[in-house]
Structure 1
Amino acid sequence: MTFSILSICTGNICRSPIAELLLAQSLAPFGDVRVASAGTGALVGSGVPEQAQRLAAVEGIDATAHQARQIDTAMIREADLIVTMARDHRRLVVESLPAAMRRAFTLRELARIADAIEPRVPQAVADAGASTPEEGMRAAVGLAAALRGTVEPPASPDEFDIVDPYRRSDETYARSFEELRPAAYRVAEFLTKAARAASV
């Protein structure tokens, strides 16, 4: 059964589509993974700004085909994992569908949790009886949700957020990308470990 990831920001043109594409590229070896993105105040139909396209291209990502779309509760309900670009987006997701709380994290929050709990992933996968990569990923999300409160928070809660570069300088786009990229790769590594543990 497909493992579904939903990446969310405000306009769905700068941060969430880049996170979507980085995650999709990293998890491509697992065929039954679907990654999508949406915005809480989407600029529906708009594409990724040129500055963000250039940064993505450095990672081998072609963002030219993206078209922004507005989030709805059906997308939230169907996602196995929701990664938001800021705490405000996560709050809106949970207000829309409280049951999504255990599947919703900011991207940087989940990366931080992954750093702390990754050694426990194989046992969590085994305890869940996961036997496919997708089941392994779901077990990892469940583990992250269960242990979220045990992980030391950052010095500032702002470190859970990725700066919004929309209509700002090239330097702000670069800063946003440098906050986003390592977090996306870290989350992908976390899910990959779980997927492989389930496939042993």
Structure 2
Amino acid sequence: MDTSAPVRILTVCTGNICRSPVAERLLQAGLDQVVPGGFQVSSAGTRALVGEPMQPISADIVRTFGGDPEGFAARQLTPRILRGVDLVLTMTSGHRGEVLQLDASLLKRTFTIREFARMLDVLAQRASGTDAQRASVESSPGALPGSNASDDDARLAANAALWRGLPARAAGVRHLSLPADAADNDIVDPYRRAPEVYREMEDQLAPAIVSILRHARLNARVPGTAPQSP
């Protein structure tokens, strides 16, 4: 595997027109700002309305948070799509089960997006005591050479290595991030429902996306910077 290849993230819901497209486009937009070229985010549905565009309210949510909903077309989740994916983020626990029915090898790389975000928050809390020391060491003279193609490849490789090891580290703190109610792992499905349900979807999804993007930012390897402490 090319160690500097983009980290592949797949978001999954049912129809692939409401929830997972929002997660896809907002994660891609945010991650592109943190590590340009470091991530490839896509989505699919377990019972996709193949070829359909994103639902209008979902598209509005994407635009509101700085993403681009244009050019989207729903696609059906298949074993081929799952092949080579580094991280699968599903909208519900049920979707996670359907992913694993297609590819059981993804057991340790598949999470609901809300549970994964909580795990990252726990990892961030654990790391807060050592981040300042790490940042001091990595920002010392000579630790970060000037930007060139070689340096960029090295940072992309470091980013890829961190994220490909992240599912295992996240799973290691699962017991510390369990919700009071199992339903808190899921994102509500707003399809063919009132605008209020789309707002509920947004309220559930947005904090999870923020947590993931924050983790990416605090652990980024980009030219001229060291990892930041929270």
TM-score by length of 2: 0.77
Structure 1 residues 2-81: aligned runs within 5 Å: 2-28=6-32, 29-30=34-35, 31-81=37-87
Question: Using the alignment, how far apart are the partners of 2:177 and 2:27 within structure 1?
Answer: 25
Question: Using the alignment, how far apart are the partners of 2:167 and 2:126 within structure 1?
Answer: 12
Question: Using the alignment, how far apart are the partners of 1:2 and 1:60 within structure 2?
Answer: 21
The Cα of 1:121 is off from its aligned counterpart by: 5.9
Which is worse superposed, 114-123 or 173-182?
A: 114-123
Structure 1 residues 48-197: aligned runs within 5 Å: 48-120=54-126, 132-148=158-174, 150-196=175-221
Task: Provide structure 1 residue ranges, at least 5 long, that are not aligned to the other structure.
Answer: none
CA contact (8 A) 1:42 1:68 kept: yes
- Say if 1:117 and 1:51 are closer, same or farther in 2 by CA, change over 3 A: same
Question: Using the alignment, how far apart are the partners of 2:83 and 2:57 within structure 1?
Answer: 32
CA contact (8 A) 1:137 1:195 kept: no
- The residue that corresponds to 2:148 in the other structure is none
Which is worse superposed, 21-30 or 188-197?
A: 188-197
Question: Using the alignment, how far apart are the partners of 2:67 and 2:7 within structure 1?
Answer: 21
**Aligned residue type for 1:2:** P
- Say if 1:138 and 1:120 are closer, same or farther in 2 by CA, change over 3 A: farther
Q: Sequence identity, in percent? A: 36
Question: Using the alignment, how far apart are the partners of 2:218 and 2:125 within structure 1?
Answer: 10
Question: Using the alignment, how far apart are the partners of 1:3 and 1:194 within structure 2?
Answer: 14
Question: Using the alignment, how far apart are the partners of 1:154 and 1:120 within structure 2?
Answer: 18
Cα RMSD of the aligned pairs, angstroms, is 2.2
The Cα of 1:194 is off from its aligned counterpart by: 3.4
**Aligned residue type for 1:155:** A
The Cα of 1:62 is off from its aligned counterpart by: 2.3
Question: Using the alignment, how far apart are the partners of 1:121 and 1:143 within structure 2?
Answer: 12
Q: Per the alignment, in what secondary structure is the counterpart of residue 132 of structure 1? A: helix
Larger Rg: 2
Q: How many residues align?
A: 193
Q: Per the alignment, in what secondary structure is the counterpart of residue 34 of structure 1? A: strand
**Aligned residue type for 2:172:** A
**Aligned residue type for 1:167:** R
Question: Using the alignment, how far apart are the partners of 1:33 and 1:152 within structure 2?
Answer: 25
The Cα of 1:32 is off from its aligned counterpart by: 2.6
Question: Using the alignment, how far apart are the partners of 2:52 and 2:178 within structure 1?
Answer: 35
Task: Provide structure 2 residue ranges, at least 5 long, that are not aligned to the other structure.
Answer: 135-154
- Say if 1:100 and 1:71 are closer, same or farther in 2 by CA, change over 3 A: same
Question: Using the alignment, how far apart are the partners of 2:70 and 2:221 within structure 1?
Answer: 32
